[in-house]
Amino acid sequence: MNPRKKVAFYTLGCKLNFSETSTIARSFTDEGFDRVDFSEKADMYVINTCSVTENADRRFKDIVKQAQKGNSDAFIAAVGCYAQLKPQELADVNGVDLVLGATEKFKITDYINDLTKNDFGEVHSCEIEDADFYVGSYSIGDRTRAFLKVQDGCDYVCTFCTIPLARGISRSEALEKVLLNAKEISDQGIKEIVLTGVNIGDYGKGEFGNKKHQHTFLELIQELDNVEGIERVRISSIEPNLLKNETIQFVSNSKAFVPHFHIPLQSGSNELLRLMKRRYKRELYVEKVNEIKKHMPDACIGVDVIIGFPGETDDLFLETYHFLNELDISYLHVFTYSERENTPAASMEGEVPLNVRKKRSKMLRGLSVKKRRSFYESQLNTVHTVLFEGENKKGYIHGFTENYVKVKSPWNPELVNTAHIISLTEIDDDGLVRFEFI
């Protein structure tokens, strides 16, 4: 009897990639593979790539080397956004045997035979125009929270972004299938779902293969609010122009949706927003933040911002800095602009020197620390429900309140994936919050 083959996975990038890796992994389990950790010896290693930032591209070679250390004879496959954008570049990396594009990745087991290594990397990658059908995904078994994919692709034309080239047009999971997947997650005992996609506020477009909206994002969350067994649902990144006031109001009164929003801004300068071809102005962003805080004063609001975009002068950067400093937000995700091939921004005038980009990034990361601490301080001596994670980190267990305050407590395995009412008491030197059980 032949021993079962072992497969390991490494995911770069976003929550959407994690949901898809988990779905791809289940297809291997169905074919008789055993899944092991990427640090262990495996017969096959699958790397799910990202191309949002230049750094993610560079990390690929290091991850391949890590796989080769685990097993120099292992079969190595690359899938994901970078694999769609630059398949031959990945195939040329020493040790890579198979590269699959946007649609092929979900049929990966069809492309492998006896796992004999190839002399050259084999590429199967569609034209991105052919990525017009939907493949549902969700992560399960990897974390306390599950990432549920509800939408893929994007019809926006932001001048810095390669995602439409890597994932194709905007398209959505059928509402009935979203609810079925959510129930499957609930049946596994997972208490929190994070909705994910490329542009989830566009949910409903392409739901049944057409460009019209069959359902709206509001209708989606109204239905998900009634899924039995799911205690929390978080909305991941959602465009400000697609975050409708009705959605905010519904979340404020819902049973499961939590007061936590992540809203991309990218720049606090209307001039740069125009160059980026974003579909809003800073004034709309302020309106959305104010609307959230009006209905949910304790809501956590995260912000994506890009620094160093072409044409960002010192004055325009300071405009963004002061805009964010005055805004009632909770934390920042700071991205340093990097030129991406085949994007309009790559050929724009006004290139910002790398040392200036790094300096500005450091300033905004410092502002993020200040904002997060200020938000945490505003939550001290208040009562919340915490859901504990499943990892022992240096003798501590961590968890998140419904409004995304991260707390810590001495490790206790009995707390994993359990919810408790607590009172937030103090912030420690790590910037995490201590608490008392109620």
When pLDDT is cut at 50, 70 and 90, the band that residue 347 belongs to is: very high
Contact (CB, 8 A) for 299 and 270? no
Answer whether residue 274 is part of any domain: no
When pLDDT is cut at 50, 70 and 90, the band that residue 2 belongs to is: low
Same domain, 85 and 182: no
Q: State the pLDDT at residue 51.
A: 80
pLDDT at residue 399 greater than cutoff 50? yes
What is the rounded distance in angstroms from the CA atom of residue 402 to the CA atom of residue 11? Answer: 26
DSSP H or E run through 398: strand 396-401
Enter the tokens of residue 393: 């980190």
pLDDT at residue 187 greater than cutoff 50? yes
pLDDT at residue 214 greater than cutoff 90? no
- Out of 49-58, 69-78, 277-286, 296-305, least confident range: 49-58
Q: State the pLDDT at residue 141.
A: 65
How many percent of the chain have pLDDT more than 90? 86
Same domain, 106 and 204: no
The whole-number average pLDDT for the span 343-365 is: 97
Q: State the pLDDT at residue 207.
A: 86
When pLDDT is cut at 50, 70 and 90, the band that residue 142 belongs to is: low
Same domain, 120 and 52: yes
- Find where tokens 């819902």 sit: 254
Same domain, 252 and 156: yes
Report pLDDT digits (tens) over 254-276: 999 999 999 999 999 999 999 99
Answer whether residue 273 is part of any domain: no
Same domain, 122 and 146: no
User: How many other C-beta atoms can be found within 10 angstroms of the C-beta atom of residue 195?
Assistant: 26
Answer whether residue 183 is part of any domain: yes
What is the rounded distance in angstroms from the CA atom of residue 201 to the CA atom of residue 195? Answer: 10
Answer whether residue 156 is part of any domain: yes
Same domain, 240 and 152: yes
> What is the pTM (predicted TM-score) of this model?
0.93
Same domain, 138 and 120: no
When pLDDT is cut at 50, 70 and 90, the band that residue 143 belongs to is: low
Rg (CA), the chain: 22
Domain final residue pick, 224, 258, 292: 258
Among 114, 74, 80, 81, which Cα is nearest to 97's? 74
Residue 272 one-letter amino acid:
L
Q: How far, CA to CA in Å, does 96 sit from each of 50, 88, 369?
A: 16, 11, 39
Same domain, 103 and 22: yes
Same domain, 184 and 91: no
Answer whether residue 320 is part of any domain: no
Same domain, 221 and 119: no
What is the rounded distance in angstroms from the CA atom of residue 197 to the CA atom of residue 205? Answer: 13
Enter the tokens of residue 23: 């779905």
Answer whether residue 223 is part of any domain: yes
Enter the tokens of residue 317: 């950067």
Average pLDDT of the chain is: 94
Answer whether residue 285 is part of any domain: no
Q: In this structure, what CATH number is given to the domain that contains residue 166?
A: 3.30.750.210
3-state secondary structure of 194: strand
What is the rounded distance in angstroms from the CA atom of residue 378 to the CA atom of residue 341? Answer: 43
When pLDDT is cut at 50, 70 and 90, the band that residue 1 belongs to is: very low
Instruction: Select the more confidently predicted residue: 177 or 236.
Output: 177
What is the rounded distance in angstroms from the CA atom of residue 396 to the CA atom of residue 315? Answer: 44
Q: How far, CA to CA in Å, does 79 sit from each of 49, 114, 122, 397, 403?
A: 6, 19, 12, 33, 34
How many domains does the structure of the chain reveal?
3
Domain final residue pick, 258, 287, 313: 258
Q: In this structure, what CATH number is given to the domain that contains residue 11?
A: 3.40.50.2300
138: Cα separation from own chain's centroid: 12
Q: Which residues of 293-302 are buried (b: 16+ CB within 10 A; e: fewer)?
A: bebbeebbbb
- Out of 34-38, 112-116, 358-362, least confident range: 112-116
Answer whether residue 367 is part of any domain: no
pLDDT at residue 134 greater than cutoff 90? no
When pLDDT is cut at 50, 70 and 90, the band that residue 126 belongs to is: confident
User: How many other C-beta atoms can be found within 10 angstroms of the C-beta atom of residue 335?
Assistant: 20
pLDDT at residue 90 greater than cutoff 70? yes
Q: Domain span at residue 141?
A: 129-258
- Find where tokens 């069809």 sit: 110
When pLDDT is cut at 50, 70 and 90, the band that residue 425 belongs to is: very high
When pLDDT is cut at 50, 70 and 90, the band that residue 208 belongs to is: confident
Q: State the pLDDT at residue 69.
A: 96
Contact (CB, 8 A) for 139 and 10? no
Q: State the pLDDT at residue 155.
A: 95
Sign of the torsion formed by the C-alpha atoms of 279, 281, 285 and 288:
negative
Domain final residue pick, 258, 291, 315: 258
The whole-number average pLDDT for the span 22-44 is: 96
Same domain, 135 and 64: no
Q: State the pLDDT at residue 129.
A: 76
**What is the maximum alpha-carbon separation in the chain?**
70
Enter the tokens of residue 142: 């990897």
3-state secondary structure of 4: coil
Same domain, 30 and 69: yes
